[in-house]
Amino acid sequence: MTDQQKSVMQDRGTVRAVERALDVLLCFRAKDELGLTEISKMIGLHKSTVHRLLATLETRGFVRREQSDRYRIGWSILELTSGIYRSGDFSTVVFPEMTALRDRIGETVSLYVRSGFERIRIQAVEGIHAVRRVANIGMRFPLHIGASGKVLLAFCNEPLLDRMESAGALPNNFNKAEFERQLEDIRKRGYAVTFEEREAGAAAVAAPIMNRQNQVSAALSVSGPVDRFSEANLERFIVACVDSANLIGKVFPF
């Protein structure tokens, strides 16, 4: 065998190893945490081969092994996404975490930013249930109605509510004092919950995404039919939403 032939075979082997390693990483689209046997079955490789691939990926930080000998995606994946962050496409950066949140709780997840006296849905991942909130990207809503709007107002570092009142952007019968008490409660809790406030039959939980200057960058929300926001589910939805919002704020300094 010539040196050139050996080189070609070596290259093919290297490419195949890369393909297999990528197949391992792509398994985590289905579940947050996987065991060796599960991954082996998913990609059709012997467990010893998968173990070697996982060991290599672990040394590079692309997977991390838990004490239970199960694996999760590692932080090196997030480092790679910093290139997307630098491109300025905030909604693209947070989409994977929004999808993970949706998979965790099953309900529609939306991302809102403030535009003047309104909020705009700039990204959404719809729930897995047959009956779910349909979240159209680009929709605008008033800031003073709904969990996400209240979060954006509560954590804003400027007297935005006063400006809205001066500009006539609030209803004539608006109770400003009561609303300010609501905002204070939201600041204390760190999240907002609303039931049928903007839309009949719908409920929502929202949490702020804070940047490193402790300014609110966006609101992350979970929404769905009121009957699925029962007392049993609500605490789980709140914890999941707040955790995801905090993670986005810590990893991506928007």
Lowest mean pLDDT among 35-44, 80-89, 243-252: 80-89
> Which residues are within 8 A (CB) of 13 and not within 5 positions of it... i.e. 6 or more apart?
none
What residue ranges define each of the domains in the chain, with the CATH number in brackets? 3-79 (1.10.10.10), 81-251 (3.30.450.40)
pTM of the entire predicted model: 0.64
pLDDT (tens digit per residue) in 60-98: 888 988 877 899 888 777 666 555 444 455 666 788 889
Residue keyed to tokens 């705009």:
120
Residue keyed to tokens 């090196």:
76
Count CB atoms within 10 A of the CB of residue 8: 12
Res 223 pLDDT > 70: yes
pLDDT (tens digit per residue) in 176-206: 999 999 999 999 999 999 998 888 889 999 9
**CA distance linking residue 252 with residue 86, whole number of Å:** 10
Average pLDDT over residues 41-62: 92
Average pLDDT over residues 34-59: 93
**CA distance linking residue 8 with residue 207, whole number of Å:** 53
- Confidence bin at 13 (pLDDT 50/70/90): low
Work out the percent of the chain whose per-residue pLDDT is above 90.
48
Which stretches of the chain are DSSP H helices?
A: 3-26, 36-43, 47-59, 75-80, 82-86, 90-105, 147-154, 160-166, 176-189, 231-251
